[in-house]
């Protein structure tokens, strides 16, 4: 798979949830800047289980089996990669608002800026499963 195709997958799976998170956390809508963000939340389907990224509460724990760890790692890394890109390009009132922030993994493998954040980014199982 080409590097370009890999970046397209990363953007596709991470950008929807990341834009939701940024809007809730910073009250900034990045749809104006990035016009290729999916209009619906993308999911991966593996072994008849549909799962993907979402903005979650601070105590959220995913319920996917251990054999999904590679997929979970891909999704978490995709968000972090996209966030680092957004940090460079996203500005509000000529201020790079995301620049001082870095994601960490909490004890439940959700992305957050610190353990006490009210909202985080985690991997969810789609409600149909």
pTM for the model stands at: 0.89
Asked if 112 and 106 touch (Cβ cutoff 8 Å), the reply is yes
Q: How many domains does the chain have?
A: 1
**Phi-psi group of 92: left, alpha or beta (phi > 0 → left; psi -120 to 50 → alpha; rest → beta):** beta
How large is the average pLDDT for residues 52-70?
94
- In terms of residues, how long is the chain? 129
CA distances in angstroms from 13 to 62, 78, 79, 93, 129, listed in the order given = 17, 7, 8, 28, 19
| Cβ contacts of 72 within 8 Å, gap of 6 or more | 62, 64, 109, 123
Question: Is 57:118 a contact under the CB 8 Å cutoff?
Answer: yes
Q: How confident is the model at residue 3 (pLDDT cuts 50, 70, 90)?
A: confident
User: Average pLDDT in the 43-54 region?
Assistant: 94
Q: How much is the pLDDT for 64?
A: 92
SS3 9: helix
pLDDT confidence band for 51 (50 / 70 / 90): very high
Question: Predicted confidence band at 62 (pLDDT cuts at 50, 70, 90)?
Answer: very high
Give pLDDT, residue 54.
Answer: 96
- Residues spanned by the domain of 33: 3-125
Query: What are the phi and psi torsion angles at 53 (to 5°)?
Result: -90, 150
Percent of the chain at pLDDT above 70?
92
Average pLDDT, rounded, for the chain: 88
Q: What is the pLDDT of residues 71-128, one digit of tens each?
A: 999 999 999 998 988 888 776 666 677 888 999 999 999 999 998 999 999 999 987 6
């Amino acid at each position: 798979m080409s590097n370009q195709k890999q970046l397209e997958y990363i953007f596709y799976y991470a950008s929807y949830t990341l834009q939701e998170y940024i809007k809730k956390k910073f009250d900034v809508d990045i749809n104006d800047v990035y016009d290729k963000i999916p209009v619906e939340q993308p999911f991966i389907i593996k072994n008849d289980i549909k799962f993907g990224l979402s903005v979650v509460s601070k105590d959220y724990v995913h319920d996917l089996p251990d054999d999904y760890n590679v997929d979970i790692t891909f999704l978490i890394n995709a968000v972090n990669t996209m966030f680092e890109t957004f940090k460079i390009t996203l500005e509000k009132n000529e201020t790079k608002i995301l620049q001082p922030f870095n994601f960490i993994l909490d004890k439940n493998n959700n992305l957050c800026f610190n353990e006490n954040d009210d909202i985080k980014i985690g991997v969810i199982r789609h409600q149909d499963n």
